[in-house]
């Protein structure tokens, strides 16, 4: 497969594409500023881990023009790219991709999430440190509203919410309750109406012996649901609270 411009490790070493929190490109610790068209192309390619047909790239990024104009826009964007960015792409007559040695924060965080969600698998201690919570706490390309972005946004949101809950549970198993609570709270902040993060946080409090904190968390969530949606927590969550209250009553019952 002939590549139009050869990409060498020396040319791209240190180039990082950030999609989480905000779009950024960093080249050897210096931020690189590029045009809006180049940003969209880099972001699209960073969301894909393999070759993408040029026709798909052009049609996705320039959907409101003819095929000919879309392809011309892609060629123009490629030709106008700043040299370190253009060097980070591998381009053929029919396909394009990021060079393999360009790092993408989303890919790293996705891999972390998958490791945490793989049951009965030991994870590295590095996967359980506070940096892991940070890696799973940022939205993907906030304030980008292209259709091709929004699909990826929802996919990442679901993955990271499940991963944060799994992280909290793994931390509880190691009796690291402060970090476990932080992971659960990060999931709550990501979607305050979702029940499972609140349930996870309640279980963290219970594992630490803080029944009152668990009940207060339930009360906060119950009030939020009532105010926002006019509904009650699920029977399973209410049963968890009932169990806490029963155990508390038994603890103070005179013998």
Residue position matching structure tokens 């960093």: 26
What average pLDDT does range 41-46 have in this prediction?
96
Residues 37 and 71 in one domain: yes
* Boundaries of domain holding 166: 104-252
Do the domain assignments include residue 1? no
CA distance 84 to 153: 27
| 30-34, 108-112, 171-175: least confidently modelled range | 30-34
Beta bridge mates, 98: 89
Residues 14 and 36 in one domain: yes
Residues 135 and 231 in one domain: yes
Residue pLDDT, tens place only, 171-202: 999 999 999 999 999 999 999 999 999 999 99
Is the per-residue pLDDT at 254 higher than 70? Answer: no
- Provide the pLDDT confidence category of residue 253 given band limits of 50, 70 and 90: very low
pLDDT value at position 250?
52
Residue pLDDT, tens place only, 61-83: 999 999 999 999 999 999 998 88
The vertex-130 CA angle with 129 and 133, nearest 5°, equals 105
Q: Which residue has the higher pLDDT, 6 or 240?
A: 240
Beta bridge mates, 18: 24
pLDDT value at position 252?
35
What average pLDDT does range 2-24 have in this prediction?
64
- 105 with 23: CB under 8 angstroms? no
Is the per-residue pLDDT at 142 higher than 80? Answer: yes
Is the per-residue pLDDT at 251 higher than 90? Answer: no
Q: Return the closest-CA partner of residue 180 out of 159, 198, 165.
A: 165
Residues 113 and 95 in one domain: no
Residues 24 and 150 in one domain: no
Residues 218 and 119 in one domain: yes
Residues 27 and 145 in one domain: no
CA distance 26 to 30: 5
Q: Could you tell me if residue 32 is left (phi over 0), alpha (psi between -120 and 50 degrees) or otherwise beta?
A: beta
What average pLDDT does the structure give for the chain? 89
pLDDT value at position 244?
86
Residues 17 and 125 in one domain: no
Give the CATH number of the domain where residue 32 resides.
1.10.10.10
Is the per-residue pLDDT at 55 higher than 90? Answer: yes
Domains identified in the chain, total number = 2
Do the domain assignments include residue 4? no
Residues 81 and 109 in one domain: no
pTM value is: 0.86
List, edge to edge, every strand of the sheet that includes 15-18.
30-32, 24-27, 15-18, 103-104
Strand spans (E) along 21-158: 24-27, 30-32, 52-53, 89-91, 95-98, 103-104
Is the per-residue pLDDT at 58 higher than 80? Answer: yes
pLDDT value at position 255?
36
What average pLDDT does range 133-157 have in this prediction?
96
Residues 248 and 137 in one domain: yes
């Amino acid at each position: 497969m002939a590549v139009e411009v050869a990409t060498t490790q020396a040319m791209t070493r240190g180039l990082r594409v950030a999609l989480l929190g905000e779009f950024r490109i960093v080249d050897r610790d210096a931020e690189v500023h590029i045009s809006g068209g180049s940003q969209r192309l880099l972001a699209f390619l960073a969301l894909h881990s393999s070759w993408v047909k040029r026709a798909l790239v052009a049609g996705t990024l320039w959907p409101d023009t003819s095929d000919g104009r879309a392809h011309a826009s892609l060629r123009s964007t490629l030709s106008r790219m700043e040299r370190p960015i253009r060097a980070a792409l591998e381009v053929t007559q029919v396909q394009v991709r990021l060079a393999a040695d360009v790092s993408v924060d989303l890919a790293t965080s996705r891999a972390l999430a998958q490791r945490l969600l793989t049951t009965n698998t030991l994870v590295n201690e590095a996967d359980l440190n506070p940096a892991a919570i940070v890696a799973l706490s940022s939205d993907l390309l906030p304030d980008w509203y292209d259709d091709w972005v929004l699909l990826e946004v929802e996919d990442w949101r679901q993955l990271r919410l499940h991963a944060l809950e799994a992280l909290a549970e793994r931390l509880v198993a190691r009796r690291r309750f402060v970090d476990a609570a932080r992971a659960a709270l990060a999931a709550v902040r990501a979607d305050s109406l979702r029940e499972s993060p609140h349930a996870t946080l309640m279980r963290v409090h219970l594992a630490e012996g803080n029944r009152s904190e668990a009940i207060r968390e339930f009360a906060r969530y119950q009030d939020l649901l009532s105010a926002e949606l006019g509904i009650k927590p699920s029977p399973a969550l209410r049963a968890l609270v009932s169990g806490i209250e029963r155990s508390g009553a038994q603890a103070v019952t005179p013998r």
